[in-house]
């Protein structure tokens, strides 16, 4: 196992796509220390900014101890192995990853899991805006894998999602699942406005208060439970909505009936 620790508090963003089990594999500490890294616009070596140690423990492959909230692209494109971060992590964590696992014992900045294809990201804190979402102007959303967030997420989470599962144990900001195409999102707590806007497929499950159901969704049914993945179901009852009809969408929005009594007067008459 390789252990990394910042040698100082970073004042400017650090780009460190080299922190990746695939790139560390088979290298000595000296060779790892020579991998390219950028502090702002200055090219440096990994060993210039991090203390690097190696021991005989095999897993996780990489452990980072300390605040790396300004360090971007950790685990970018990783295909295997495991990274554990004991502290906060920066933007673009696990971008384009296709395998392996990243665990963050802290908070994560924006665009974590962007264009993710596989693997697992566990965040034992909050995730900022654009979790599992593409860059502005593109539509390459999350295509596979699993993201678990113990805290809350910011706005525009899972935009253009095309596969995989996201479990959010806290609340979610506005525009969750914007333009969603496939996959599953589960939220245990309160959701803000515009959930599922322009979605054409996939499933969003909200087990708590939902600020609004967009008028471009139609109520279909009430279900006792909602399937999250092969091993887990959410207990309802849930209103089941279809949409977004403005996109001729066939997505499903499951909304807790008990947590949203204000919806009863609006939708129960259509289910009698």
pLDDT tens, residue by residue, 74-118 = 999 999 999 999 999 999 999 999 999 999 999 999 999 999 999
Are the CB atoms for 155 and 136 separated by under 8 Å? no
How buried is residue 43: exposed, middle or buried, by Cβ count under 10 Å (0-12/13-18/19+)? exposed
The number of domains in the chain is: 1
Q: In the prediction, which pLDDT does 57 show?
A: 80
pLDDT class of 137 with cuts at 50, 70, 90: confident
Look at residue 143 and tell me if it is in a domain: yes
Q: Is 227 inside a domain boundary?
A: yes
Question: pLDDT tens digits for 45-68?
Answer: 999 999 999 988 878 899 999 999
Asked if residue 99 belongs to a domain, the reply is no
Tell me the residue length of the chain.
272
Question: pLDDT by residue (tens digit) across 200-259?
Answer: 999 999 999 999 999 999 999 999 999 999 999 999 999 999 999 999 999 999 999 999
| 3 state DSSP class of 213 | coil
* Domain assignment of residue 139, yes or no: yes
Whether the per-residue pLDDT at 8 is higher than 80: the answer is: yes
pTM above 0.85, yes or no: yes
Nearest one of 249, 168, 156 to 202, comparing CA atoms: 249
Look up the domain containing 168 and give its range: 126-270
Residue 234 lies in a domain: yes
Residue 56 lies in a domain: no
Residue 272 has pLDDT above 80, yes or no: no
Dihedral angle over CA of 118, 131, 46, 84, nearest 10: -60
């Amino acid at each position: 196992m390789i252990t990394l620790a910042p040698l100082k508090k970073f004042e400017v963003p650090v780009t460190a796509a080299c922190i990746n089990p695939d790139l560390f594999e088979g290298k000595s500490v000296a060779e790892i220390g020579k991998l390219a890294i950028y502090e702002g616009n200055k090219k440096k070596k990994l060993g210039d900014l991090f203390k690097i140690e190696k021991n005989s423990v095999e897993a996780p492959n990489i452990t980072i101890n300390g605040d790396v909230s300004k360090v971007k692209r950790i685990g970018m494109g990783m295909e295997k192995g495991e990274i554990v971060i004991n502290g906060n992590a920066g933007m673009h964590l696990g971008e384009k990853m296709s395998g392996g696992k990243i665990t963050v014992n802290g908070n994560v900045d924006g665009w974590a899991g962007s264009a993710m294809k596989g693997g697992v990201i566990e965040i034992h804190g909050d995730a900022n805006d654009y979790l599992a979402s593409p860059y502005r102007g593109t539509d390459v959303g999350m295509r596979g894998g699993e993201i678990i967030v113990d805290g809350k997420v910011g706005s525009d989470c899972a935009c253009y999602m095309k596969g995989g599962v996201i479990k959010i144990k806290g609340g979610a900001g506005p525009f969750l699942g914007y333009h969603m195409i496939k996959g599953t999102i589960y939220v245990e707590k309160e959701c803000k406005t515009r959930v599922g806007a322009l979605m054409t497929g996939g499933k969003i499950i909200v087990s708590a208060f939902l600020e609004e159901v967009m008028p471009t969704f139609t109520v279909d049914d009430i279900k006792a439970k909602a399937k999250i993945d092969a091993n887990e179901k959410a207990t309802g009852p849930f209103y089941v909505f279809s949409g977004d009809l403005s996109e001729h969408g066939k997505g499903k929005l499951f909304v807790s009936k008990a947590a949203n009594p204000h919806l009863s007067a609006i939708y129960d008459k259509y289910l009698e």
